[in-house]
Amino acid sequence: MTTTKSSTTTTCKLLVGGKWIESSAKEFIDVYNPSSGEVIARTPMGGMQDVDKAVQAASKAFIEWKEVPIVERARVMFRFKNLLEASYEELAKCVTREHGKTLPEARASVQRAIEVVEFACGIPSLFFGDAMANIATNVDCETIRHPIGVCAGIAPFNFPAMVPLWMYPIAITCGNTFVLKPSERVPLSSMMIAELLEKAGAPAGVLNIVHGGKDCVNALLEHPDIKAISFVGSTTIAKYIYEQGAKHGKRVQAAGGAKNHIIIMPDADMDHTAQALNASAFGCAGERCMAGSLAIPVGEAADVLMEKLVATASKMKVGRTDVEDKHPDMGPLITSEHLSKVRNMVEKGKSEGAEVLLDGRELKVQDAPNGFFLGPTIIDRAKPTMSVVQDEIFGPVLSVVRAKTIEDAINIGAQCPYGNGAVIFTESGKAAREFKHRFNAGMIGINVGVPASMAWFPFTGWNNSFYGDLHIQGKEGIQFYTQQKMTMTRWFGGGSLAEKFQDPVWKPRKS
């Protein structure tokens, strides 16, 4: 039982040492179905008391879990993957219900989550250290990977199933135990997935779940028995997590917000580009850290692209995602507060002098008057210094800056404080090479609208999109969750090996 039912709403429980227990929190926040505006659960806003229980359980579990052979830990992941696949549809529905993405988008996010578990299944092949004989006479040297202890993960709202799974499958296969704090706005998918991990055979205490916001996060940052923190969320909080985590002696990987540039050269295939740009900007209602939120058409690309883009975007069907027979192209935003924030940012762009070519703010969804909907919005002729160009909006809003040359476009990127992703659409290898080499971002797409790293590669955000040294996922993920032990070995017994071979005890046997 992951929730308790009161007469009106269900309250999320904590997972501590294999048991679902009540939080000691006195405050709660509502979890909404963003399509209908209905409250579907309550999240307890826990603090140190809850965190300490979870860390104690994780510390206890670590003693045995770190000694379980890595192939057996990987076998838990194989079973976990099978269970996730068996629950694929149910999980996608849960993601849609608490987050609001369309069902196909939710399914894709669950698929991406499963891929991280597939990566974790292969960790034994990546767990090797190094070894070298005779680094000095008769001295050999080797490094062996060890887990680091109790690790914690703090997740954002926008991918309720996927982002937590970027973290703990890698951490626990490496031999660590884990305390997860899902976003207080979408706690339900994480709880459902934790039950599957338990069924897969993860011992009690290997994964624990706490709930809350700032106080809960601070308790994780300050707890002396947590060795490492993985964070994904907005830039302001990512920086805070990095600074506070480091202050308390922890390893930190903190992925932040983004503003992803999409450069369109005049020679690009405009029909494919308009479609890809549409999907990149408005997919998941723009609530993606890799959303293409700033288009920079170069030269004569602008007029033809804008016409196609407005035509495609204005045909998008926006509607509730929580009913079976509707198949909208886009769902709602996460909360009414976030909806207001996005609306205000559009208004600010307009007041700064940009042209709102397509305005989704007045959209009404007939069968969901209380849902948090905003239609696709396109803001043309923005200037590089405007807030709609500089700031992350995190909604279905595409800002457009028209550039004269590729040089100008690359320079706009150089002024951006973020650095998650950037894309070029072109038929020119030379332009693509120039862009790939020089653009100031960590994940590059060439004729690919959303170049988000898959599980086998690190999620390589740059600048204010990442704080830390080792990124989430891929081999960097394994490095983050392990420490190496170097052993230097010498055996005494007098003399060199050559002399020893003169000794009858050491003489090789003659067959």
Neighbours of 452 (CB within 10 A): 18
Nearer to ligand NAD, 234 or 390 (CB): 234
- What is the dihedral angle through the alpha carbons of 109, 111, 115, 117, rounded to the nearest 10 degrees? 90
Tell me how far apart the alpha carbons of residues 464 and 208 are, in angstroms, rounded to a whole number: 30
For β-strands 466-468 and 251-255, DSSP reports them as antiparallel
DSSP 62-112: HHHHTTS-HHHHHHHHHHHHHHHHHTHHHHHHHHHHHH---HHHHHHHHHH
Nearer to ligand NAD, 243 or 408 (CB): 243
Tell me how far apart the alpha carbons of residues 102 and 329 are, in angstroms, rounded to a whole number: 7
For 309, the token pair is 């883009």
| Nearest distance in Å: CB 166, ligand NAD | 8
- Smallest Cα–Cα separation from 481: which of 243, 274, 176? 176
Whether 66 contacts 147, CB under 8 Å: yes
| Nearest distance in Å: CB 382, ligand NAD | 19
Question: CB within 8 A of 203, min separation 6: which ones?
Answer: 18, 61, 64, 65
Nearer to ligand NAD, 38 or 222 (CB): 222
Question: CB within 8 A of 187, min separation 6: which ones?
Answer: 12, 31, 41, 43, 98, 211
| Nearest distance in Å: CB 254, ligand NAD | 9
Tell me how far apart the alpha carbons of residues 171 and 241 are, in angstroms, rounded to a whole number: 19
Whether 124 contacts 482, CB under 8 Å: no
DSSP 32-49: EETTTTEEEEEEE---HH
Nearer to ligand NAD, 127 or 240 (CB): 240
| Nearest distance in Å: CB 469, ligand NAD | 15
For 408, the token pair is 């100008």
First vs last Cα of the chain: how many Å apart? 68
**Distances in whole angstroms, Cα of residue 388 to Cα of each of 161, 426, 455:** 29, 25, 31
| Three-class SS of 394-420 | CCCEEEECCECCHHHHHHHHHCCCCCC
Catalytic residues: 289
Nearer to ligand NAD, 96 or 420 (CB): 420
Q: Is 181 buried (19+), middle (13-18) or exposed (0-12) by CB count in 10 A?
A: buried
Q: HSE-up of 267 (CA within 13 Å, CB side)?
A: 9
Nearer to ligand NAD, 175 or 461 (CB): 461
Nearer to ligand NAD, 445 or 461 (CB): 461
| Three-class SS of 226-279 | EEEEEEECCHHHHHHHHHHHHHCCCEEEEECCCCEEEEECCCCCHHHHHHHHHH
| Nearest distance in Å: CB 303, ligand NAD | 31
Whether 298 contacts 304, CB under 8 Å: no
Residues of this chain that bind ligand NAD (CB under 6 A):
154-158, 163, 181, 183-184, 213-214, 217, 232-234, 237, 255-258, 289, 392, 394, 420, 459, 461, 465
Tell me how far apart the alpha carbons of residues 315 and 329 are, in angstroms, rounded to a whole number: 9
